[in-house]
A and B are shown apart, each in its own frame.
Chain A
Amino acid sequence: MLPVSEEKAPVRAPLLEVRNLTVRFPLRAPVFARGRHQITAVDGVSFSIHRGEVFALVGESGSGKTSLARAIVWVRRPDGGSVLFNGVDLATLNGKQLRMSRRGFQMVFQDPYSSLDPHQTIGRILSEPLRVHRVSNVRSRVYELLTLVGLEPAFAARFPHEFSGGQLQRVGIARALALKPALLVCDEPVSALDVSIRAQVINLLIRLQRELGLSYLLIAHDLGIVRQIADVTAVMYLGKIVEIGTNDNVFNHSGHPYTVALMSAVPVPNVTVERNRKRIILVGEIPSPGVTITGCRFHTRCWLRTRLGDPEICTSVEPPLEGRVDHSIACHFTGEVMR
């Protein structure tokens, strides 16, 4: 049950390709000033995800991760750039084609309590995608889905409020899998759950990825999880990707001062190492995306800039994202970071 566009796509085309994606939000402003005040949540982001790949997107709150995810699953039209799924630009599809295309990419939400309709039984929630897409044998498919995510088929008759967060997130995952998608966009799938439950849900995601050959766009701020399951990691800061590369490169050879600071915040499960670990504490909050920053968008909080004695280029020229295919960094002094 692969998406319709499958045959038409070039063989080597990535499953998902995001080109120069931009998402803006208008600010509430007086009538006369309307249009001028806006926030750029996602500012020209490009990357691609291949079949069977786990692509992680990390960054602190407010960096535009959720806006990016919503634009990719096309519930909010981007204000610029394009999303190509199986080589087909989603903006060119009509309503019916888009609906067909949606079978290929589905989303797992952050908060399982608000992403499941409290007035519907688990069975109805899971059958909604099947009914929308006129899939037959709804009942047996619902039971199959519940079993797939490790829940009992009898749960179909119950309501969401009867379940724990972890169980609900399993339902959310089952719903996303109902249409047999090739790509799952997981927006912080475990950050709303109890710490004790997180590992179970992550393990479920890993198992499903292997069994079903899925691709993930995993949005997270828990770097431990990302390190464990991602193939490619991108670090986002204020709407832009500042570093992207294979997991090994980003984690073990971080080239951007922001990435280095993020990594230094991850605890190491070894007492002596942990005690001697150097930590970089970033000063201040992530700047509001409404404020225009000239030069490098990270310069206001950059520890490296301070150490190098405030080079002028950091505040005047925005560093491009450049490097090799398996590791690109947006920093003027990435050579200094490595040392």
Chain B
Amino acid sequence: MAGLLIAIAAIGIGLFANILAPHDYAAVDVTQRFLPPSLGHPFGTDEFGRDLLSRVIFGARTSLIVALSSTLVGATLGVVLGVTAGYFGRASDEAIMRLMDIMLAFPSIVLGIALATVLGPSISNLALIIGFIQIPAFARVARSSTLVVKAQEYVVAARTLGQSNAGIMIRHVVPNILGPLVVLASLTVPGAIVTEAALSFLGLGVQPPTPSWGNLVFDGTRFIYSYPLLVALPGIVLSIAVLGFNLLGDGLRDVLDPRSRR
């Protein structure tokens, strides 16, 4: 429940950023640099005199768009590949899973940099790239869960009824492996936020002056000894959001299991 509230709050902040933010996130005022928190600037200001609260609020929008859409991309493709590999086994299993191993062999940041260089920096490309990096994780979990479900007698039963392979995968396999996948997705969202931050920091992701939680934290680290609040405040917000998504994942797993339903 707490997770759901935090996640809804985070998404709400992202959606209504332009209403909620007290200032323009890009308005520079060099006379107002490094201000401590005050009524006018509840989170203070950064090295260009921009209102930190407004930047955090708009950062929610960017970070969540990238994190959620990339997880959607990664989960969809990963589940399709993983279920196919697990269900059909043999050659298709070998082919798909070795491909996943190859993808996993590259450090995600290196893979991300390579792809971002080719595709060019933009928020939608960033979502695609991060989603692509996540495919192997989803494929592995989907495959191993599929192997468990495939051995269940209800799959054999569906086959004796004349149900097609596609029908069995959609009606029986996917609903029964959703639990672990939802948990994985909730764990992937914070990872995606961090990857986004790393790529943005390298200039391959979100371009300044557009804020994201990741580049706020990264930019702030330059002043971590003199003005630690520049790291701490976006960092705390980021942590709360991450915690929220994790709790949400736990809650969803329980809801998706009909045995725990009352």
Considering the chains assembled together, what is the distance between the CA atoms of A129 and B153 in angstroms?
15
Task: State whether A159 and B258 are in contact (beta carbons under 8 Å apart), knowing that A119-B175, A133-B162 are contacts in the complex.
Answer: yes
**A109 — which chain B residues lie within 8 A by C-beta?**
153, 156-157
Binds B, one of A17-25, A110-118, A198-206: A110-118
Q: Report yes or no: B156 in contact with A75, Cβ–Cβ below 8 A.
A: yes
A175 part of interface (Cβ distance < 8 Å): yes
A132 part of interface (Cβ distance < 8 Å): yes
Q: Report yes or no: B161 in contact with A159, Cβ–Cβ below 8 A.
A: no
Considering the chains assembled together, what is the distance between the CA atoms of A290 and B3 in angstroms?
54
Task: State whether A116 and B160 are in contact (beta carbons under 8 Å apart), knowing that A132-B167, A161-B258 are contacts in the complex.
Answer: no
Considering the chains assembled together, what is the distance between the CA atoms of A132 and B162 in angstroms?
7
Closest to A118 in B: B258
Q: Report yes or no: A73 in contact with B152, Cβ–Cβ below 8 A.
A: no
B154 part of interface (Cβ distance < 8 Å): yes
Q: Report yes or no: A159 in contact with B261, Cβ–Cβ below 8 A.
A: yes
B141 part of interface (Cβ distance < 8 Å): no
Considering the chains assembled together, what is the distance between the CA atoms of A175 and B161 in angstroms?
9
Residues 159 to 194 of chain A near chain B (Cβ within 8 Å): 159, 161, 172, 175, 178-179
**A179 — which chain B residues lie within 8 A by C-beta?**
161
B 152-175 to A, binary, CB cutoff 8 A, 1 in contact else 0: 111011111111000100011001
Query: Which of A106, A111, A117, A120 contacts B160, CB < 8 Å?
Result: A106
Closest to A130 in B: B161
A128 part of interface (Cβ distance < 8 Å): yes
Query: Which of B157, B175, B258, B259 contacts A175, CB < 8 Å?
Result: B157
Task: State whether A129 and B161 are in contact (beta carbons under 8 Å apart), knowing that A118-B259, A119-B176 are contacts in the complex.
Answer: yes
**B261 — which chain A residues lie within 8 A by C-beta?**
159
A301 part of interface (Cβ distance < 8 Å): no
A 297-323 to B, binary, CB cutoff 8 A, 1 in contact else 0: 000000000000000000000000000
Considering the chains assembled together, what is the distance between the CA atoms of A120 and B156 in angstroms?
16
**B161 — which chain A residues lie within 8 A by C-beta?**
102, 106, 128-129, 132, 175, 178-179
Considering the chains assembled together, what is the distance between the CA atoms of A107 and B158 in angstroms?
10
**A114 — which chain B residues lie within 8 A by C-beta?**
152-154
Closest to B155 in A: A117
Considering the chains assembled together, what is the distance between the CA atoms of A119 and B162 in angstroms?
20
**Cβ contacts A to B, 18 pairs, < 8 Å:** A70-B156, A102-B161, A102-B162, A106-B160, A109-B157, A111-B153, A114-B152, A114-B153, A116-B157, A117-B171, A119-B176, A120-B175, A128-B158, A128-B163, A129-B161, A132-B161, A159-B258, A175-B161
Which A positions have Cβ atoms within 8 angstroms of B? 70, 73-75, 98-99, 102-103, 106-107, 109-111, 114-120, 128-129, 132-133, 159, 161, 172, 175, 178-179
Which B positions have Cβ atoms within 8 angstroms of A? 152-154, 156-163, 167, 171-172, 175-176, 258-259, 261
A75-B156, A118-B258, A129-B161 given; name 4 further pairs at CB < 8 Å. Answer: A118-B176, A119-B175, A119-B258, A132-B167
